[in-house]
């Protein structure tokens, strides 16, 4: 069982930046693919970004491409989401996810989420 704890959310003005962090409990972290998802009020959860295990191949939703960057530090068992040029429509609860499935969009473990609010 992998436990994930997100941090770094908060309130920011449009155009600002935030960096989300996700710490994993799993001792062997590097094989896990990691993803970030978000869920806005009244909407379904949506994919934001993903990074593969050792190869560090990344993928992004079109809505965040060029503004968000996902990265990982396997030694620290952590994954990060650098969010720049934030927009009010980025407001959501952001979730970290971990898994070993081949799909970029399917994960086995989820964190509790961290709130990101972007004011206009």
Instruction: Work out the pLDDT band at 53, boundaries 50, 70, 90.
Output: confident
Instruction: Work out the pLDDT band at 28, boundaries 50, 70, 90.
Output: confident
Q: What is the CA radius of gyration of the chain?
A: 13
Is 90 exceeded by the pLDDT of residue 65? yes
Q: Which tokens sit at 77?
A: 């068992």
Instruction: Encode pLDDT of 66-116 as tens digits.
Output: 999 999 999 999 999 999 999 999 999 999 999 998 888 999 999 999 999
Average pLDDT rounded to a whole number, residues 9-34: 94
- Find out whether 71 and 7 touch, Cβ atoms under 8 Å: no
The pLDDT value recorded for residue 55 is 67
* Residue 89: exposure state from Cβ atoms within 10 A (0-12, 13-18, ≥19): exposed
Which residue pairs, CB below 8 angstroms and at least 24 apart, start in 12-16? 12/86, 12/116, 12/117, 12/118, 12/119, 13/118, 13/119, 14/86, 14/87, 14/88, 14/118, 14/119, 14/120, 15/85, 15/86, 16/86, 16/118
Percent of the chain with pLDDT over 70: 99
The pLDDT value recorded for residue 45 is 97
Percent of the chain with pLDDT over 90: 88
């Amino acid at each position: 069982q992998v436990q994930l704890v997100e941090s770094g959310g908060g309130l920011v003005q449009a155009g600002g930046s935030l960096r989300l962090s996700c710490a994993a409990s799993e001792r062997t972290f590097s094989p896990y693919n990691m993803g970030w998802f978000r869920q806005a009020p009244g909407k379904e959860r949506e994919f934001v970004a993903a990074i593969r295990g050792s190869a560090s191949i990344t993928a992004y939703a079109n809505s965040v491409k060029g503004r968000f960057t996902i990265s990982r530090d396997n030694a620290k068992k952590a994954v990060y989401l650098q969010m720049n040029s934030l927009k009010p429509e980025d407001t959501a609860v952001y979730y970290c996810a971990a898994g070993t499935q081949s799909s970029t969009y399917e994960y086995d473990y989820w964190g509790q989420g961290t709130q990101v609010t972007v004011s206009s």
